[in-house]
Amino acid sequence: MSVLAAAPGTLSPDPAPVNPADHFGGGRPVVMQVIPSLVTGGAERGCVDIAAAVQRAGGRAIVVSSGGPMARELERYGARHVTLPVDSKSPLVIRRNAKRLAALAKAEGVDIIHARSRAPAWSCLWAAEALGIPFVTTFHAPYNFKNGLKRWYNSVMSRGDRVIAVSRYVYDHVAANYGVGPDRLRLVHRGVDVDLLTPEKVTQGRMAALVREWRIPEHQRIVMLPGRLTRWKGQGVLIEAISKLGRKDVRAVLVGGDQGRSDYRAELEGRIRALGLEGQVTIAGHCNDMAAAYMLADVVVSASTEPEAFGRIIVEAQAMGRPVIVTDLGAVRETVVAGETGLVVPPGDAGALADAIREVLDLDPLTRKAVGLDGMRHVRAHFTKEGMCAATLGIYAELLAARAPVARGRR
């Protein structure tokens, strides 16, 4: 485990903003994204962000999903949402969806279809082929396989005219397992909104509201693990680490809903009681103000025991200037600078996690500030929403430019 050491400094200004309209050259292309639902998650957030960027660039954005609360955001950006059962994995429904998507794309003059999940990607592929328009996919995860049938099912994500990977970790997986070469494969890291995730914009009142809701005593330091309650996210490992840490001035806050996994939540609650940690571990549930939550945290932890395809939470925490601790799996080698913006520990090792928590909590104020600034610089240099949108629109523009001579020839 690396020792945190960072030189104090100041945060440099953000890069000059990119004008999305530069990508489309005054045209008004229509981009249709298809995603199973718009409930919550990194893929869904990226979908909405790209739809907004398409609208700002002078294009028209259509998003097709089975619905969800995030669909309302699209209206604010002028994008259109269409509800179809694209979350279904039924072969019959997937076939019907292909016809529905083709009809919608033809009626709306869609220029590009962009699929963000496997089941709807099959429908999108067939619709795009029927209409002769470009097809884009995004690998939001490695989509591992244990047999030939599952590999074939996953392979639809590799059939795009352009295939986007959300991290170098995913990029390498796609290249190695699906044979996609650099002519079609593109690396576009997920991006976070550094305008919203800015410490100066979080008021004391917002932080105080969470302290009251979570009933956290003033004297306790907060170790936060954000993420839905599911075993591989490592909430149980953090609970064990807090027990090994043996400090009454520390409280672990598990932020995230159980999404129906009530048995796992009950298991965690039982373990908290068995270890006598009722006053040191809080299962907070879903939080609607994550910026304020990050500001309360002395350290943000990702204790995942399986690889993170990207790890949005840890990027957001660094954007807020929080020291982080992550397990050595997946994309953390890209999102965290070990020993500078956070610490890296072996997965499933509660003892190593306890040691890392102790190290971060014992940082002197000057080093803590320097670590936070390093994290903010790292995110602003590599993982902004603006950068993600510019790169994605650049891919759309590349496909539109290649198609233009063909389209002109058909007239």
DSSP string, 344-397: EE-TT-HHHHHHHHHHHHT--HHHHHHHHHHHHHHHHHH-BHHHHHHHHHHHHH
| pLDDT at residue number 125 | 98
Model confidence at 12, pLDDT cuts 50, 70, 90, reads very low
Record the pTM: 0.88
Q: Is residue 168 part of a domain?
A: yes
- Give yes or no: residues 219 and 247 share one domain: yes
- Give yes or no: residues 378 and 390 share one domain: no
**Cross-strand bridge partners of residue 77:** none
- Give yes or no: residues 35 and 81 share one domain: yes
- For the record, the structure tokens of 393 come out as 């629109």
Q: Is residue 281 part of a domain?
A: yes
**Which whole number is the average pLDDT over 267-279?**
96
| pLDDT at residue number 348 | 97
Model confidence at 404, pLDDT cuts 50, 70, 90, reads low
Tokens 């995030």, residue located: 70
CB 162 within 8 A of CB 112: no
Distance (Å, rounded) from C-alpha 182 to C-alpha 8?
Answer: 39
- Give yes or no: residues 168 and 252 share one domain: no
- Give yes or no: residues 181 and 260 share one domain: no
Phi then psi dihedrals of residue 358, to 5 deg? -60, -45
For the chain, the domain total comes to: 2
Q: Is residue 48 part of a domain?
A: yes
Model confidence at 406, pLDDT cuts 50, 70, 90, reads very low
* Whole-number Cα distances in Å, 275 to 209, 269, 281, 321: 29, 10, 10, 32
Strand ranges in 75-216 using DSSP code E only, listed in sequence order: 80-83, 112-115, 135-139, 162-165, 185-187
- Give yes or no: residues 372 and 228 share one domain: yes
For 327-385, the pLDDT digits (tens) are 999 999 899 999 999 999 999 999 999 999 999 999 999 999 999 999 999 999 999 99
| pLDDT at residue number 27 | 67
**Which whole number is the average pLDDT over 392-399?**
96
CB 50 within 8 A of CB 38: no
For 132-143, the pLDDT digits (tens) are 999 999 999 988
Q: Is residue 8 part of a domain?
A: no
Q: What angle do CA 80, 86, 90 make, to 5 degrees?
A: 170
Q: Is residue 250 part of a domain?
A: yes
Q: Is residue 277 part of a domain?
A: yes
**Which whole number is the average pLDDT over 142-149?**
85
For 195-240, the pLDDT digits (tens) are 999 999 999 999 999 999 999 998 899 999 999 999 999 999 999 9
| pLDDT at residue number 408 | 33
- Give yes or no: residues 304 and 317 share one domain: yes
Distance (Å, rounded) from C-alpha 383 to C-alpha 42?
Answer: 13
**Which whole number is the average pLDDT over 286-304?**
96
**Which whole number is the average pLDDT over 15-25?**
51
| pLDDT at residue number 1 | 42
- Give yes or no: residues 106 and 72 share one domain: yes
- Give yes or no: residues 177 and 206 share one domain: no
Question: What is the torsion angle, in degrees rounded to the nearest 10, for the CA atoms of residue 215, residue 221, residue 227 and residue 229?
Answer: -60
Q: Which residues span the domain enclosing 162?
A: 22-191+385-401
**Is residue 309 predicted with pLDDT exceeding 50?**
yes
**Is residue 296 predicted with pLDDT exceeding 60?**
yes
Q: Which residues contact 225 (CB under 8 A, 6 or more apart)?
A: 233, 234, 235, 238, 252, 253, 254, 255, 300, 301, 302, 303
- Give yes or no: residues 242 and 176 share one domain: no
**Which whole number is the average pLDDT over 84-102?**
97
CB 297 within 8 A of CB 324: no
Q: Is residue 5 part of a domain?
A: no
CB 323 within 8 A of CB 375: yes
| pLDDT at residue number 306 | 95
| pLDDT at residue number 18 | 45
Here the CATH number for the domain that contains residue 108 is 3.40.50.2000
For 98-130, the pLDDT digits (tens) are 999 999 999 999 999 999 999 999 999 999 999
**Which whole number is the average pLDDT over 377-400?**
96
| pLDDT at residue number 13 | 43
Q: Is residue 79 part of a domain?
A: yes
Angular region, 284: left φ>0, alpha ψ -120 to 50, beta rest:
alpha
Enclosing H/E stretch for 243: helix 235-245
Model confidence at 6, pLDDT cuts 50, 70, 90, reads low
* Whole-number Cα distances in Å, 222 to 251, 256, 262, 268: 5, 16, 25, 18
- Give yes or no: residues 121 and 137 share one domain: yes
- Give yes or no: residues 211 and 300 share one domain: yes
CB 7 within 8 A of CB 35: no
| pLDDT at residue number 14 | 43
**H-helix segments, 275-349:** 290-296, 312-319, 332-335
Least confident of 15-24, 280-289, 375-384: 15-24
| pLDDT at residue number 17 | 44
